[in-house]
Amino acid sequence: MTSSIIPLYKQTDKVIIKAKDCYIYDSNNKQYIDFESGDWAANLGHSNERISQILKNQSELLIHDGLRFRNIQSEELSNKLLEKLSFKDGKSTFLNSGSEAVNLAITIAKNLTRRNKILKMDCSFLSAYGHGQISPDNSNLESISTDNIDSISQINFQEIAAFIFEPGNAWGLIKYPTNKFISSIASAIKQNGGLLIANEVTTGFGRTGKWFGFQHYDYKPDIVSVGKGLGNGYPISGVSITKEIADLFDGSPFRYAQSHQNDPLGCAVGLEVISIFDNDRLIEKSYKTGQYFNEHLLKLQANHKEKIYEIRARGLMISLVFHSCINTENIYLQLIDHGMLVGQKDNVLRFMPPLIIEEFHIDKLISTIDKIITGS
Ligand SMILES: Cc1ncc(COP(=O)(O)O)c(C=O)c1O
């Protein structure tokens, strides 16, 4: 079948027709265990019943309302999110995509500090366009190489508006920088009047075994951007700020408005997502599942030391790194044939499954990798 979609990224010719929990199904009714949660968004699993129900109920009541009035859903979602972030008396606003949330976070930081430069780690992804886009044209984005403490002294912190920390580097194949490195950058930023942003678009909502990835660090962000997991597949993102930052808006002319901002439908979904996390104690459960996953990968590594270089794991954000002599793309393709979707880049396989993944799914993945690499 010829595709009528602009070929902006690589796609196979398989057609997906439905998804439920940890599984997706193609048009030949082949089932795949989705170790990528769609695009790292369906943390509660695909087509969660409560999310489908809230979409139905809220869409019959109020989908979109324009900017003139307040709505209950966005007010409540902001309060819930601020509670999870421990941002007492802070404020939030809600958008649609992670890229929008990152761009708004950076825009706020630039406006409040009246500086232009943004510091990021070399392997972080920030946004598909705008201030966070990784492109030679974006000269305001400065990169620091992960865990290179010496390189910190080369940064002119007086010109940095904000450091934006993605605590996991999903796109950069999952790397967890040390606390020492991150807190050294954070204190240099603070001493020089800059702001701290946490980009939690991917690491938020339980992905790393805590509500947010920055909570593994001595890192106190002023601004947090969220996305993906907040809507569990429905497009909603958000930016939250501390009370100290919110107070600065009183004297600032800075304003920002777009058509779909604080839309009640997306906010109702976000509220339901957080409620499901709380009811199902999903953070605690997924942390344990992550430990199980990690332990079994370590056993696999012990049996294949000459093939597996390392495992990087935190919660259910895990990468399995092969030695460069191993054809990792081939393993990835064979896993698809066996009905398992994982991420792959260079010599790394990436696993970011729905947080409801069960031990038997993990056993199946690891035993299949074991068989593939034993034969290779
Ligand atoms: C860490 C991070 N930030 C921002 C984004 C952009 O989010 P979106 O694709 O929803 O615009 C992504 C997307 O993968 C991401 O991984």
Nearest-angstrom CA–CA distance, 241 and 108: 10
Both 132 and 255 in one domain: the answer is yes
308 lines ligand 1 (CB under 6 A): no
SS3 118: strand
How many residues are listed for the chain in this entry?
376
Q: Both tokens of residue 147?
A: 């865990």
Domains identified in the chain, total number:
2
The structure's pTM equals 0.97
In a domain? residue 349 = yes
Q: Does a structural domain hold residue 1? A: no
**CB atoms near residue 338 (< 10 Å):** 15
Asked whether residue 158 falls in the same domain as residue 295, the answer is no
Do 194 and 175 fall into the same domain? yes
Looking at the chain, list the stretches that DSSP marks H as alpha helix, in order from N- to C-terminal side. Answer: 37-40, 49-61, 72-85, 98-113, 179-191, 243-248, 264-279, 282-303, 328-337, 359-375
Q: Is residue 30 part of a domain?
A: yes
What does the pLDDT read at residue 136? 85
Please check whether residues 28 and 89 belong to one and the same domain: no
**Model pLDDT for residues 301-354, shown as the tens digit of each residue:** 999 999 999 999 999 999 999 999 999 999 999 999 999 999 999 999 999 999
Q: How far is the CA of 93 from the centre of ligand 1 (A)?
A: 17
Res 173: pLDDT: 83
Do 306 and 246 lie in one domain? The reply is no
Instruction: State the CB neighbour count (10 A cutoff) for residue 47.
Output: 16
Residue with tokens 């260079």: 346
Tell me how many degrees the CA angle 308-309-315 measures, rounded to the nearest 5.
Answer: 90
* Structural domain ending residue among the three candidates 279, 304, 334: 279
CA distance 304 to 321: 12
Q: What is the DSSP string of 160-210?
A: EEEEEE-TT-TTTT-----HHHHHHHHHHHHHTT-EEEEE-TTTTTTTTSS
Q: How confident is the model at residue 95, as a pLDDT?
A: 98
Residue 241: give the domain boundaries.
50-279
127 lines ligand 1 (CB under 6 A): yes
Q: For residue 201, report the distance from its CA to the centre of ligand 1, in Å.
A: 6
Q: Is 159 within the bounds of a domain?
A: yes
Nearest CA to ligand 1 atom 16: 202
For ligand 1, whether the C-beta of 102 sits within 6 Å is yes
Regarding whether 215 and 334 lie in a shared domain, the answer is no
In terms of Cα–Cα distance, which of 34, 126, 96, 82 is closest to 316? 34
Least Cα distance to 37 among 53, 51, 23, 55 occurs for: 23
Q: Does residue 264 sit within a domain?
A: yes
Structure token pair of residue 59? 């869409």
Residue with tokens 């940064």: 155
Q: Is residue 10 part of a domain?
A: no
> Which single residue is written with the structure tokens 């949330």?
101
165/239 same-domain check = yes
Question: Is there an atom of ligand 1 within 6 Å of 36 CB?
Answer: no
Per-residue pLDDT of the chain (376 residues; tens, 9 = 90+): 789 999 999 888 899 999 999 999 999 999 999 999 999 999 999 999 999 999 999 999 999 999 999 999 999 999 999 999 999 999 999 999 999 999 999 999 999 999 999 999 998 999 999 998 988 888 899 999 988 899 999 999 999 999 999 999 877 689 999 999 999 999 999 999 999 999 999 999 999 999 999 999 999 999 999 999 999 999 999 999 999 999 999 888 899 999 999 999 999 999 999 999 999 999 999 999 999 999 999 999 999 999 999 999 999 999 999 999 999 999 999 999 999 999 999 999 999 999 999 999 999 999 999 999 997 6
Residue 254's domain is classified under what CATH number? 3.40.640.10
Same domain, yes or no, for 229 and 332? no
Q: Confirm or reject: Cβ of 294 under 6 Å from ligand 1.
A: no
Instruction: Look up the CATH number of the domain holding residue 352.
Output: 3.90.1150.10
Q: Is 153 exposed, middle or buried (0-12, 13-18, 19+ CB in 10 A)?
A: exposed
CA distances from 218 to 158, 245, 304 (A): 22, 19, 36
In a domain, 323, yes or no: yes
Q: Domain ends where: 254, 279, 304?
A: 279
Hey, which residues does 20 pair with through a beta bridge?
Answer: 23
* Pair (189, 207) in one structural domain: yes
- Ligand 1: nearest atom to the Cα of 203: 1
Same domain, 268 and 311: no
Same domain, 221 and 362: no
Asked if residue 270 and residue 292 are part of one domain, the reply reads no
Decide: 169 in ligand 1 pocket, CB within 6 A: no
**Cβ atoms within 10 Å, residue 274:** 18
Which of 256, 279, 302 is where one domain is finished? 279
Cβ neighbors of 289 (< 8 A, separation 6 or more) are 316, 355, 357, 358, 359, 362
Cβ contacts of 122 within 8 Å, gap of 6 or more: 143, 144, 145, 146, 172
Q: Which amino acid is at 25?
A: Y
Please tell me the chain's helix, strand, coil percentages from 3-state DSSP, rounded to the nearest 5: 40, 20, 40
pLDDT of the residue at 265: 98
Nearest CA to 202 out of 175, 179, 171, 242 is that of 171
Domain membership of residue 254 (yes or no) is: yes
CA of 300 to the centre of ligand 1 (A): 31
